[in-house]
Chain A
Amino acid sequence: MTLPIIEPRQTDFTQPPAINPALTAQWLEAFLKDELVGGRGIPRAVVGLSGGVDSAVTAYLCARALGPKNVFGIRMPYKHSSPSSLTDAHLVTEAIGINECTIEITAAADGYLQLERDADARRRGNVLARVRMLVLFDQSAKLNALPVGTGNKTERLLGYFTWHADDSPPVNPIGDLYKSQVWKLAEYLGVPKPLVKKAPSADLEADQTDEGDLGITYAKADAVLTRILEGYTNDQLVARGFDRGEVEIVRKRLDGTHWKRHLPTTAMLSNTAINEFYLRPVDF
Chain B
Amino acid sequence: MNVAIVQTKPRKGKYRENLHDLREVFAQVGSEPVDLIVLPEAALTGYFLEGAVYELAMDAPAFADDIAAAWLEANPKKDVDIVCGFYENSDGTYYNSAMYLQISNREAHIKHVHRKMFLPTYGVFDEERFLSRGRHLKTFDTRFGRMAMLICEDSWHAIMPTIAAVKGARILVIPSAAPGRGIEGGDELTSIVRWRAILESIAAEHGVFLLYAGLAGFEGGKGMTGSSRIVDPRGRTIVEAPPLGAHIIRATLDLHEIDLARATLPLLGDLNAVLPDLLLDEELPLPPMLRQPRDES
Seen from chain A, the residues whose Cβ lies within 8 Å of a Cβ on chain B are 17-20, 22-24, 26-27, 30-31, 34-35, 38-39, 181, 277-284
Q: How far is the CA of A175 from the CA of B127 in the complex (A)?
A: 25
A30 adjacent to B244 (CB under 8 Å):
yes
Nearest Cβ distance between residue B46 and chain A, in whole angstroms?
A: 8
Q: How large is the interface on B (under 10, 10 to 19, 20 to 34, 35 or more residues)?
A: 20 to 34
State whether A30 and B52 are in contact (beta carbons under 8 Å apart), knowing that A19-B184, A38-B217 are contacts in the complex: no
State whether A31 and B50 are in contact (beta carbons under 8 Å apart), knowing that A23-B183, A23-B189 are contacts in the complex: no
Residue B48, interface by CB 8 Å: yes
- Residue from the list A20, A22, A31 in contact with B223, Cβ < 8 A: A31
Please name all residues of chain A whose beta carbon is closer than 8 Å to the beta carbon of B51 when the two chains form the complex. 277-280
Residue B221, interface by CB 8 Å: yes
Nearest Cβ distance between residue A284 and chain B, in whole angstroms?
A: 5
Interface centre among B46, B49, B183, B219 (most CB of A within 10 A): B183
Residue B185, interface by CB 8 Å: yes
Q: How far is the CA of A51 from the CA of B180 in the complex (A)?
A: 31
CB-defined A-B contacts under 8 Å, sample of 7: A19-B184, A23-B183, A30-B223, A31-B223, A34-B218, A277-B51, A284-B12
Q: How far is the CA of A20 from the CA of B186 in the complex (A)?
A: 7
Seen from chain B, the residues whose Cβ lies within 8 Å of a Cβ on chain A are 11-13, 46, 48-52, 180, 183-189, 217-221, 223, 244-245
State whether A19 and B220 are in contact (beta carbons under 8 Å apart), knowing that A279-B51, A280-B50, A284-B49 are contacts in the complex: no
Interface centre among B13, B49, B221 (most CB of A within 10 A): B221
Nearest Cβ distance between residue A181 and chain B, in whole angstroms?
A: 8
B187 adjacent to A283 (CB under 8 Å):
no
B50 adjacent to A279 (CB under 8 Å):
yes
A35 adjacent to B50 (CB under 8 Å):
no
B184 adjacent to A18 (CB under 8 Å):
yes
A24 adjacent to B183 (CB under 8 Å):
yes
Specify the chain B residue showing the minimal Cβ separation from A29. Answer: B244
Q: How far is the CA of A277 from the CA of B54 in the complex (A)?
A: 13
A35 adjacent to B52 (CB under 8 Å):
no
11 more CB-based (< 8 A) A-B contacts, given A27-B223, A31-B218, A281-B220: A18-B185, A19-B183, A23-B188, A30-B218, A30-B223, A31-B221, A31-B223, A35-B221, A281-B48, A282-B220, A284-B13
Please name all residues of chain B whose beta carbon is closer than 8 Å to the beta carbon of A26 when the two chains form the complex. 244
Please name all residues of chain A whose beta carbon is closer than 8 Å to the beta carbon of B180 when the two chains form the complex. 27
A281 adjacent to B52 (CB under 8 Å):
yes
Please name all residues of chain B whose beta carbon is closer than 8 Å to the beta carbon of A39 when the two chains form the complex. 12, 218
B52 adjacent to A20 (CB under 8 Å):
no
Please name all residues of chain A whose beta carbon is closer than 8 Å to the beta carbon of B186 when the two chains form the complex. 20, 23
Please name all residues of chain B whose beta carbon is closer than 8 Å to the beta carbon of A24 when the two chains form the complex. 183
Q: How far is the CA of A191 from the CA of B193 in the complex (A)?
A: 30
A22 adjacent to B12 (CB under 8 Å):
no
Q: How far is the CA of A30 from the CA of B216 in the complex (A)?
A: 11
Q: How far is the CA of A83 from the CA of B277 in the complex (A)?
A: 77
Nearest Cβ distance between residue B179 and chain A, in whole angstroms?
A: 12
Nearest Cβ distance between residue B214 and chain A, in whole angstroms?
A: 15
Please name all residues of chain B whose beta carbon is closer than 8 Å to the beta carbon of A19 when the two chains form the complex. 183-184
- Residue from the list A35, A181, A278, A279 in contact with B218, Cβ < 8 A: A35
Please name all residues of chain A whose beta carbon is closer than 8 Å to the beta carbon of B220 when the two chains form the complex. 281-283
Specify the chain B residue showing the minimal Cβ separation from A22. Answer: B187
Q: How far is the CA of A20 from the CA of B185 in the complex (A)?
A: 6
Please name all residues of chain A whose beta carbon is closer than 8 Å to the beta carbon of B245 when the two chains form the complex. 30
A280 adjacent to B52 (CB under 8 Å):
yes
Specify the chain A residue showing the minimal Cβ separation from B188. Answer: A23
Specify the chain A residue showing the minimal Cβ separation from B11. Answer: A38
Q: How far is the CA of A277 from the CA of B186 in the complex (A)?
A: 41
Interchain residue pairs A-B with the least CB separation, the first 9 = A34-B218, A279-B50, A18-B184, A279-B51, A282-B220, A283-B12, A24-B183, A30-B244, A283-B220
Q: How far is the CA of A280 from the CA of B218 in the complex (A)?
A: 16
